[in-house]
Amino acid sequence: MDSAIEAVAEALAGATSVVVLTGAGISAESGLRTFRETMEGLWKDFDPMTLATPEAWEADPEKVSRWYDWRRLGCLAADPNPGHVALAQMESRLNARGGRFTLLTQNVDRLHHKAGSRNIVELHGSIIQWRCTVCGAKTTPGPESLPKFPPPATCCAASHRGLLRPDVVWFGEMLPEEALAAASEAVATCDLFLSIGTSSIVQPAASYILWAARRGAETVEINTEPTPISDTVDWSIMGKSGEALPNLVRAAFAG
Ligand code: BJW
């Protein structure tokens, strides 16, 4: 077995509080496109500034809502892969022996929920849920395409009716306060931090591993490519998370 996996398995077996941060790469093996990869990434075909900002929504809510509804249906159709499943197993094995596990995800696809993870902090919201632009009421549309674009909300009185927008965090928007608080608290107390399938570029998520390291936590990255944090982590595992994570969980919790 890869010597980095063996070393991380040992750290995991002795850890009492583990934080995992995931990005789009963990869902790539479920068939969902990442954002920034040169061949596969969504931003290769779509301009984020015209789709993933509040200004884009203001300028063209029809285009933005159509794009997000297309992606929502893709997420609903996707299944978790062995990487997601291994993280759910990691959580239950740690919890069973009194350890703590927090999963910070930048992903909006809800595949960690489908895989059975429990203590999930959605840093960038969820594409499965949409919210009213007037009152903020949340709704979970069904598995068929939305009937109208932009979708009208039905929660408010007709005189000041809003639109439904995806409940995701766009560039320039604040992350949900509860998510920020939960993430800070978990990072402040963890002894092991794993960063999985993220390019480690988008803030504030990319800073959490640096805070954890500064506090003395051991740090791990699992990614198919080097990222800005690869040289600073204690262990860098180069490979697919859908392969590395099941190996890691097997090695850490064997027997
Ligand atoms: C595999 C694999 C396999 C492939 N196995 N690996 C400080 C400094 C500079 C800028 C800022 C700053 N603070 C805030 C900003 C601005 C901005 C920001 O960070 N910009 C950067 C681009 C520089 N941040 C924000 O605006 C955030 N808000 C905020 O901070 O509010 C306060 C504030 C506002 C304004 C100014 C200052 C403060 C909000 C960020 C919201 C991000 N939103 C998106 C869209 C969500 C909705 C949607 O889905 O459409 O979130 S953008 C997109 O990027 C999405 C992702 O969650 C996020 C991260 O991407 P991720 O997951 O890392 O994906 P990729 O594609 O980048 O990487 C995939 C990786 O997987 C690659 O490395 C592959 O190699 C790897 N991989 N297959 C393992 N099988």
Q: Does any ligand 1 atom lie closer than 6 A to the CB of residue 169?
A: yes
> For ligand 1, what atom is nearest to the CA of residue 241?
5
- The answer, yes or no, to whether any atom of ligand 1 lies below 6 A from the CB of 34, is yes
Average pLDDT, the chain: 96
Q: Which residues belong to the active site?
A: 124
Answer yes or no: is the C-beta of 17 below 6 A from any ligand 1 atom.
Answer: no
Query: How do residues 168-214 score in pLDDT, each as one tens digit?
Result: 999 999 999 999 999 999 999 999 999 999 999 999 999 999 999 99
Q: Is the CB of 241 under 6 A from ligand 1?
A: yes
Give one word for 60, left, alpha or beta, with left for phi > 0 and alpha for psi -120 to 50.
Answer: beta
Q: Say how many Å lie between the CA of residue 202 and the centre of ligand 1.
A: 3
CB under 8 Å to 92, separation ≥6 — which residues? 116
CA distances to 6, 27, 187 from 250, rounded to whole Å, are 10, 20, 25
Residue 39: its pLDDT value, please? 81
pTM above 0.95, yes or no: yes
Mean pLDDT of 15-43: 95
Element (H, E) at 212: helix 208-214
CA distances from 42 to 27, 47, 124, 150, 204 (A): 13, 8, 17, 21, 21
Grade residue 100 by pLDDT with cuts at 50, 70 and 90.
very high
Q: Which residues contact 205 (CB under 8 A, 6 or more apart)?
A: 21, 23, 104, 106, 123, 124, 198
Q: Whose CA is nearest to atom 49 of ligand 1?
A: 108
